[in-house]
Amino acid sequence: MRWFFLILAIASITVALAIGPRGEKFSTPPFMLFPDMDNQYKVKAQKPSEFFENGQGARVPVEGTVPFGYAPPKEGVSAAGPLDFSRGDDYLNTGLFGDFYGKGFPGEIKLDETLLARGKERFRISCSPCHGMSGNGAGIVSKYWAIPPTANLVDPRVKSMPEGQIFWTITHGKGLMGPYNGVLSVKDRWAIVAYLRGLQAASGN
Ligand code: HEC
């Protein structure tokens, strides 16, 4: 019986200790048995960070790198500093004249064999899995992922699109097709447009 009272007393104290402080305010963080990743190390916008030596949370891009979504600085135009990446709002960089898709290739792009060869290589890497080697939309992906169907690029509809619109589509994507501005340089995108024109001419559509 003695033992029973002793165990009861210990159990009561344990329960009181565990439940008693509920609702009280503490200055220290609570003890978490299962943290569930509630607390994570991250940098909040405009906040300092202890992780970096100078305590600055917002970082300056590493010299010589281009952040995702930015075009590399144009040739012959030196960037004023590490933050100054030219996005470029001209036809070469956007495929647009003002609010309209442009027709033809920009003057900076030299249409020659080297460009077409580059376009062929890039098209086969980046576009053919979905659009097919010949651009007819019957790439390997279409065999497994048919809804909605991948566009047939040698269709008269796409054939009649201005070059700027195709460039714009590669840059920004469309529907389930993602943007390629972070993967393909401006020149490579134009090279693909040029190669695609070749595929369309060869298709006889
Ligand atoms: C992941 C699969 C995928 C890849 C890779 C892909 N596309 Fe597409 N593309 C699509 C789909 C799906 C559509 C149809 C989108 C829609 O109309 O909603 C499409 C549409 C298009 C269109 C027609 C847009 C229109 O307005 O009808 C063009 C042009 C095009 N893609 C070019 C390209 C080029 C060039 C590449 C390579 C840089 C490429 N795509 C890579 C899936 C892909």
Domain total in the chain: 1
Decide if 90 contacts 108 (C-beta within 8 A): no
Residue 17 maps to a domain: no
Residue 79 maps to a domain: no
- Pairwise CA distance, residues 169 & 16, whole Å: 66
**The predicted structure's pLDDT at residue 129:** 93
Compute the chain's Rg from CA coordinates.
30
Q: Tokens representing 110? A: 């030299």
- Pairwise CA distance, residues 155 & 140, whole Å: 19
Q: 142 C-alpha vs ligand 1 centroid, how far in Å?
A: 12
Residue 123 sits in a domain whose CATH number is 1.10.760.10
Ligand 1, CB cutoff 6 Å, lining residues: 126-127, 129-131, 141, 150-151, 153, 158, 166, 169-170, 174-177, 180, 192, 196
**The predicted structure's pLDDT at residue 16:** 82
Residue 30 maps to a domain: no
Domain containing 110: what range? 91-203
Q: 72 C-alpha vs ligand 1 centroid, how far in Å?
A: 23
pTM of the model: 0.66
Task: Return per-residue pLDDT of the chain as tens, 205 residues.
Answer: 778 989 999 999 888 887 766 777 878 877 888 888 888 888 888 899 988 899 998 887 787 777 776 666 655 544 444 333 335 778 888 888 888 999 999 988 899 999 999 999 999 999 999 999 999 998 888 888 766 778 899 999 999 999 999 999 998 899 889 888 878 888 889 999 999 999 999 998 8
Looking at ligand 1, which residue's alpha carbon is closest to its atom 19? Answer: 151
